[in-house]
């Protein structure tokens, strides 16, 4: 397939770390990113509501011509992936299975630590996927990390202290070979996570969910060597303030977002 169209969906901004990882991988691809910012956070909604929201977004991306959909949202992946796959006719890649498989490839049947939001931990989606592959998982909810990242405090003393407390608490209960970043905000903290682990005496490898998901998407398209004329392009849609999306989105994408189109998906 030449010049594929790839749809990327998240309830907010975190999925842009997945888009950032994707941009260099599929030559000539055009990405359509949808952030359902008007209805976040998904974690506080019922499973039925989350599935309805996610399916609406997936259908929009398919209608825009997407050849494949990336559900770059841990909550939607954990609670609505079967409904999304049933609602569209194109392949769908979530963010949980790729990172669990990556952990198992590096450390088969090992003990792993999953850092995630409270909603993702309560779903036990990572625990179930890890158990299916023989990994022994400890899940740790880190609810303060998302607002700290969105504040732009990527390497701030407060963020360092909060992360250290979470990791100290987790490492008191497990000795992981790998630490899985189970939230799409967390890749921005990957260097800090690794540094803090080493300071606490852990040699666990940090597995970036954005990179693992992007690598899985790449396998769906023929292998070719990109040239300068094959640079990927992207466009962004948001269901709430486009100005806020441009400002925060540029932090996550680490690339300026010149234009965001507003999309009304209803209540």
User: Is 104 annotated as contributing to ligand binding?
Assistant: no
Residue 185, marked binder: yes
Alpha-carbon Rg for the chain, nearest whole angstrom, is: 18
**Residue 53 counted as an annotated binding residue:** no
Asked if residue 134 belongs to a known ligand binding site, the reply is: no
Does 31 show up as a binding residue in the annotation? Answer: no
Annotated binding residue 10: yes
3-state helix, strand, coil in the chain (%, to 5): 50, 20, 35
Q: Are 50 and 245 in contact (CB under 8 A)?
A: no
Dmax over CA atoms of the chain, in Å, equals 51
Q: What are phi and psi of 242, to 5 degrees?
A: -75, -30
Ligand-binding site membership of 11 (annotated): yes
Residues with catalytic roles? 73, 183
Distance, in Å, from the CA atom of 142 to the CA atom of 120, rounded to the nearest integer, reads 10
Q: For residue 250, what are its two tokens? A: 């540029």
Q: With contact defined as beta carbons under 8 Å apart, do 18 and 44 qualify?
A: no
Could you tell me if 20 and 210 are in contact, meaning their C-beta atoms sit under 8 angstroms apart?
A: yes
**What is d(CA 219, CA 232) in angstroms, rounded to the nearest whole number?**
16
Cα separations (Å) of 150 from 57, 242, 254?
23, 16, 13
- Residue 184 labelled as part of a binding site: yes
Residue 220 buriedness (CB in 10 A; 0-12 / 13-18 / 19+): middle
CA distance 115 to 146: 12
Q: Which residues are annotated as a binding site?
A: 10-11, 42-43, 74-75, 184-185
Q: Which residues are annotated as a binding site for substrate?
A: 10-11, 42-43, 74-75, 184-185
């Amino acid at each position: 397939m030449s010049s594929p169209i790839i749809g990327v969906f998240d309830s907010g901004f975190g999925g842009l770390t997945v888009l950032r990882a994707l941009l260099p991988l599929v030559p000539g691809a055009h990405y359509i990113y949808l952030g359902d910012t008007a209805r976040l956070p998904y974690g506080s909604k019922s499973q039925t509501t989350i599935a309805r929201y996610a399916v609406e977004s997936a259908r929009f991306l398919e209608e825009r011509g997407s050849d494949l959909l990336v559900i770059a949202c841990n909550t939607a992946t954990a609670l609505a992936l079967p409904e999304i796959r049933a609602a569209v006719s194109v392949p769908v890649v979530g963010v949980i299975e790729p990172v669990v498989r990556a952990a198992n490839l590096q450390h088969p049947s090992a003990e792993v630590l999953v850092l995630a939001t409270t909603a993702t931990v309560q779903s036990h989606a990572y625990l179930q996927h890890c158990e299916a592959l023989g990994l022994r998982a400890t899940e740790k909810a880190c609810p303060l990390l998302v607002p700290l990242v969105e504040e732009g405090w990527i390497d701030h003393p407060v963020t360092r202290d909060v992360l250290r407390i979470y990791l100290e608490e987790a490492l008191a209960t497990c000795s992981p070979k790998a630490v899985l970043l189970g939230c799409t905000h967390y890749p921005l903290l990957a260097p800090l996570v690794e540094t803090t682990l080493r300071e606490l005496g852990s040699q666990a490898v940090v597995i970036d969910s954005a990179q693992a998901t992007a690598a899985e998407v790449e396998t769906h398209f023929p292998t070719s060597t990109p040239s300068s004329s094959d640079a990927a392009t992207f466009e962004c849609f948001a269901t709430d303030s486009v100005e806020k999306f441009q400002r925060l989105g540029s932090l996550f994408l680490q690339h300026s977002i010149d234009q965001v189109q507003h999309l009304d998906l209803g209540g």
